[in-house]
Amino acid sequence: MERQALLSFKKGVIDPTSSLSSWSIKKDCCQWHGVQCDNITGKVTSLNLGCSPIDVSSNCLRLGGEIILPLFLLESLNSLDLSGNDFQTFHLYPSNAYRNLLGTMPPHFCGNFSNLKYLDLSYNINLHMDNIQWISHLPSLKILDLSGIDLHKETHWIQHMSVLLSLSELLLRSCQLTDVIPGVGWFVNFTSLQYLDLSENYFDFEISKLVLNLSDEFSALILESNKLKGPIPDTLRNLRNLEYLMLSGNELNGTIPDWLGEYKHMQYLEFYGNSLQGPIPATIGNLSELISLELSYNHLHGFFPSSLGKLSNLENLLVGGNSLVGVASKMNFTKLIKLQMLDLSSSSFIFDMDSNWTPPSQLAYVYLHASKLGSVFPTWLYSLEYVHYLNISSSGISSIVEDKLWSLAKRTTCHG
């Protein structure tokens, strides 16, 4: 019966490269491409036909057509990955005889999906879903990724998601979402959720409206590239185990609060491209696990905090495009041994680097355009070992050492 369920699914698939050629009645379905079975019971537990959007290898399936899932017969299925393909329609029916609307689908059609824990349909860019009520019939679901799927007609999406009491990761990136039903609000009981990504949608409201009842284990809030407004809300202070706070590309204002320095596990703190004002809090230097600090292109002012020089795990330091002042010396960077990307562009820093200082060996992307580097090409820039991008345009440099510059240029893929 499991073999027949999979063959029924195959009938709706457009497979121009015969990627599913191994799906034959002549073989045990547990030997088919992308199918995994339990070693003891022989039941199908995983179907992985996903294709990374950047994967150009021969193993990338790029299937199309319809997702027709009589897979409710796969009672042990716990993982389903159809991401990155070109499916255009979605049906969850036991056979072609039941072509009802998804919203009117009898709940028992999904009854045997009670074991499904991982569902990834992301980045089937021509796929849209007008109704995702069927999601509420997957009680064991822990990870759900519908990123890149058009959900703009589904106005009850957040209600359907909130009944998934086991859900720990929810990714709805670039789904053309706008808001919930007017007047309902954003209070949602996501007590098991740990990771939430709603980036690249059309949310246009005060960020304080987003009130989520989250667990103590919640670790990632990713809301980049929306139109969220208002100051960084104090309610975030309760999320003591945050590792990712990524709010870049919105319209946030106000100041960066000092209490952000209280997060012991913070790794990604990114507010790039907002309208935040005031200084960079010195308390950010307490975030010893911080990997990425992206504050460029706000309206920040004041001095570059010397405490940032203690962040030995930092790989990205982006503070350009603000009105920061002060002295940038080797003392700010000596301990940043893992630094890969540095943006100090369009600032009023005075650069006072020791001529013998060698920057971090991994530094590969350097943005210093419209900075006050002085008339002489900085010696420390010549010693960049693995630089891929260097922009020093409009920085007032008029004197160079030609041999050293050409040696640097050979190591640089793009420069200004």
Cross-strand bridge partners of residue 110: none
Phi, psi (deg, nearest 5) at residue 206: -65, 130
Sheet holding 86-91: strands in order across?
13-14, 64-68, 86-91
Q: Which structural domain, as residue segments, surrounds residue 46?
A: 1-127
The confidence band for 57, taking pLDDT boundaries of 50, 70 and 90, is very low
The per-residue pLDDT for 72 is 65
Identify whether 32 is part of a domain.
yes
Residue 23 is assigned to a structural domain of this protein: yes
Q: Is residue 184 part of a domain?
A: no
Average pLDDT over the chain, rounded to whole?
86
**pLDDT above 90 for 71:** no
Does 41 reside within a domain? yes
pTM to 2 decimal places: 0.89
370-414 per-position pLDDT tens digit: 988 888 888 888 888 888 898 988 888 888 877 877 888 777 765
pLDDT at 59: 55
Q: Is 8 a member of any domain?
A: yes
Q: Is the pLDDT of residue 105 over 50?
A: no
* Confidence at residue 290, expressed as pLDDT on a 0 to 100 scale: 98
Residue 5 pLDDT level (bands cut at 50, 70, 90): confident
At residue 42, what are phi and psi to the nearest 5 degrees? 75, 5
- The predicted-structure confidence for 110-167, as pLDDT tens digits, reads as follows 445 788 999 999 999 889 898 898 888 889 999 999 999 999 998 888 888 888 999 9
Give the CATH number, domain containing residue 12: 3.80.10.10
Nearest-angstrom CA–CA distance, 95 and 72: 11
Q: Give the pLDDT score at 308.
A: 93
CB atoms near residue 414 (< 10 Å): 10
For the chain, the domain total comes to: 1
Please answer whether residues 219 and 236 qualify as being in contact, where contact means their C-beta atoms are separated by less than 8 angstroms: no
292-294 vs 316-318, strand pairing mode: parallel
Q: Is there a domain that residue 303 lies in?
A: no
pLDDT digits (tens, 9 = 90+) for 327-346: 888 888 889 999 999 999 99
Give domain status of residue 302, yes or no.
Answer: no
- The answer to whether residue 270 scores a pLDDT higher than 90 is yes
Q: What is the pLDDT of residue 187?
A: 59
- How many Å apart are CA 245 and CA 89, to the nearest integer? 34
pLDDT of 358 over the 50 cut: yes
Residue type present at position 243: E
Q: In the chain, helix, strand, coil percent, each to 5?
A: 20, 25, 60
Please give the average per-residue pLDDT across 287-294, as a whole number.
98
Q: Is residue 327 part of a domain?
A: no
Separation CA 207–CA 228 (nearest Å): 6
Q: Residue 273: which region, alpha, beta or left (left: phi > 0; alpha: psi -120 to 50)? A: left
Longest dimension (CA), the chain: 78
